[in-house]
Amino acid sequence: MTGSTLIVLATAATLWLPGAASAQARQYPLESVDGLRLLNVAAEPAMLQGKKGLRLTLAEETARRLERMSPSERAQAEIEQLAWIEGLDFSSGLIEAEIAGTPGPGANEGARGFVGIAFRLQEDRKTYDAFYLRPTNGRAEDQERRNHSAQYVSHPEWPWFRLRKETPSKYEAYVDLAPGAWTKIKIEVRGERARLYVHDNEQPTLIVNDVKSGAHAKGAVALWLGPGTVAHFRNLTVGSLATN
């Protein structure tokens, strides 16, 4: 697949919105790395459960850099793992994708297969909002872990641990997940409000009424993965909110 075929413009593609008119959506099959910019990740075409997509892991160069750090330095290192779409500026709208995550070989005990989508990513590549999943939590035998299956964050000021400490349970939720399985997600952003839908459910898994980047922030859309994760992505669609 060439770069010219990565982006397919679906004119008059109808987006899911109550009472909304049709709007234009950009579709990214994610069967090649054309049109993607990578930060601390390696990406390659791969099959998962018989479906084509991209496989993302921590880049070898970044892994070597982490190995050279002391344990204390490694604990404090802020290593963002992102692959963003070139030429895409997003503020409010709909983002849909199929994603899968599983802990990688040698991952530590805290690895959960963290996988998700970042939006409003700024040029510093550190500032963004994101929804992500913890697939190994979805069917854990511990209820508290299950309650942390889906997460909203806003880096760098609002990482998961600060949100959990200051506002327990507000930015996390349970959803049934299986590691390494394709999972459909939909993110709806309307200014300061955002919703995460999982598995084509009509009701949102997670509701955020105070998106930390504010009502008017703009930025890139990126594939996101966390520490110790082997992530897969396919069929990314980004569309504007339609109005009557």
* Full domain range(s) for residue 232: 6-239
Flag whether 140 is in a domain.
Answer: yes
Segments in the chain below pLDDT 50: 1-22, 244
In the chain, how many domains are there?
A: 1
Flag whether 1 is in a domain.
Answer: no
In this predicted structure, what is the pLDDT of residue 211? 98
In this predicted structure, what is the pLDDT of residue 165? 98
Flag whether 64 is in a domain.
Answer: yes
In this predicted structure, what is the pLDDT of residue 23? 52
**Whether the Cβ atoms of residue 218 and residue 211 lie closer than 8 Å to each other:** no
Flag whether 47 is in a domain.
Answer: yes
pTM above 0.75, yes or no: yes
In this predicted structure, what is the pLDDT of residue 2? 43
Flag whether 244 is in a domain.
Answer: no
- Give the domain CATH number at 134: 2.60.120.560
In this predicted structure, what is the pLDDT of residue 243? 58
Instruction: Measure CA of the first residue to CA of the last residue in the chain; give whole Å.
Output: 36
**Whether the Cβ atoms of residue 239 and residue 215 lie closer than 8 Å to each other:** no
Q: How many angstroms separate the CA atoms of 24 and 10, rounded?
A: 6
Torsion of CA 114, 118, 122, 124, to 10 degrees: 10
Flag whether 143 is in a domain.
Answer: yes
Per the listing, tokens 């872990």 go with 145
Flag whether 129 is in a domain.
Answer: yes
Q: How many angstroms separate the CA atoms of 147 and 138, rounded?
A: 8
In this predicted structure, what is the pLDDT of residue 242? 65
Flag whether 124 is in a domain.
Answer: yes
pLDDT tens column, 143-169: 999 999 999 999 999 999 999 999 999
